[in-house]
Amino acid sequence: MNNTSQLIESLGREHLSISRIKVTPISYQPEDGSFIHECGPVVLTKRDEAVVQIWTEEGLEGIGPGSLSYSEQNFDSLIGQNPFDLLEANLPQGLNVACWDLVGRAKNRPVYQLLALDQHSNPRVHVYSSGGVMWTYYDRGDGKMYGVDALIEEALNYKELGFDTFKWRPGTDWEEAGVNPKKLGEICRQLRQAVGPDFKLGLEKKGYDSWTLEECLQIAPIISDLGFYFFEQPMGDAGPEQFDDYLKIKALMPGVMLWGGESFRTFDEAEPWMREGIYDAVQSDCLHLGLTQNWRIAQLGRETDTKIVPHNWSTSLGTMCNAHLVAGTGGHMLEFFMYPSGFRYGLFKEPYRPDKGVITLTDAPGFGVELIDDFADKFPYRSGPNTIPNPRIPEAWDRAQTRQRAVAGRYR
């Protein structure tokens, strides 16, 4: 398996010196007060992220995704250092990504080509539509569709846009709506009938709480019979204690891949899931691991025949680095978030946009994108919570937390 030392050595070296680092918190919040998610027991009123910018004495700028916690950290120790020397350092993930941008710009090559090492890179990145977080079991009273009709409408919209795959979540609170695995199965059947046999479907766990093993054992054969493409982390990523139960689920859904790993924060977390053949595809995200560690996971994916399908659920900065990871490592496909968000296209002068389910990267150096000049003014940070109990069913949040603790407790 290729290692990071080989990757870094293949880059060569250019003289660069970091002169400044800036972390800018940003928020997206719909001006009309509408929600970004209305899923499970909660609603999402806004999304908070951060933008990392690193400048060098040589006049280069590198960018990366960040979290609000970066604003509380002091990065003065990195001033004067060479980004080439920091690619294997234990940096916050967004700084690692920004250093890769600088390296690509210094070498006058796109990052995905630098990541390829002994592989052929492919600038055409297959992306799938990821949504299903705005359909509800209840009538909002706004004249719009709800229930399975709303889910079908959303899926057909993505199909019309040229996507060939749709991942969705199973609606608002089940107890309030009287939903169970059998009723979910009927929703799955109606959705399959509407989109046709060749449109790929993926099902993720309930919003903000995991399914029990018993529920998963009921759902798995249903989605297998309906030709679903994948079942995503239905019980979360608790650890090796889950392996036997996940194998039971896999045995009941031949032809359906088991995906997971968006919660992984280190290579060591991902490795046992891949070596033991539990996950058929791993969703580790450059926002959570950085590019260097995700490259390591991709190399392990080649060795274990595990597909690389990065999680990508927040901003175009995540699309940026995860797309280059897929393009440079033979990755399978990339999540493309489709819930309402100005962060999907609003941060860059020329953002990546899928065309018939494909993002085509250019030969521009680094990540090949530039921030708009006034991004901090366009998306000013707004303090306060972003995820709150659904005001229609406030008691559902406590129920969901109780269920989640019960699922997690099984594996302690």
375-412 as b/e: b if 16+ CB within 10 A: beeebeeeeeebeebbeebeebbebbeebeeebeeeee
As a whole number of angstroms, the distance between CA 193 and CA 263 comes to 32
pLDDT the model gives residue 207: 66
Q: Which CATH architecture has domain 116-366?
A: Alpha-Beta Barrel (3.20)
pLDDT the model gives residue 210: 86
pLDDT the model gives residue 409: 87
As a whole number of angstroms, the distance between CA 244 and CA 112 comes to 36
Compute the half-sphere exposure of residue 272: CA atoms within 13 Å on the CB side of its CA: 11
Can you give the residue ranges of every domain in the chain? 116-366
Beta strands in 187-295 (DSSP E): 200-204, 230-232, 257-260, 281-282
pLDDT the model gives residue 61: 99
Q: With residue 308 as reference, give the H or E element that holds it.
A: strand 307-308
- pLDDT tens-digit profile of 278-289? 999 999 999 999
Name the β-bridge partners of 37.
44
CB 235 within 8 A of CB 242: yes
pLDDT the model gives residue 337: 98
pLDDT the model gives residue 9: 96
pLDDT the model gives residue 359: 99
Query: Which distant-in-sequence residues (6+ apart) come within 8 Å of 151 by Cβ?
Result: 132, 135, 168, 171, 187, 191
* Residue 323 pLDDT exceeds 70: yes
pTM over 0.95: yes
SS3 content of the chain, % helix, strand, coil (to 5): 40, 20, 45
Q: What is the DSSP letter of 137?
A: S
The dihedral over CA atoms of 68, 72, 77, 79, expressed in degrees to the nearest 10, equals: 60
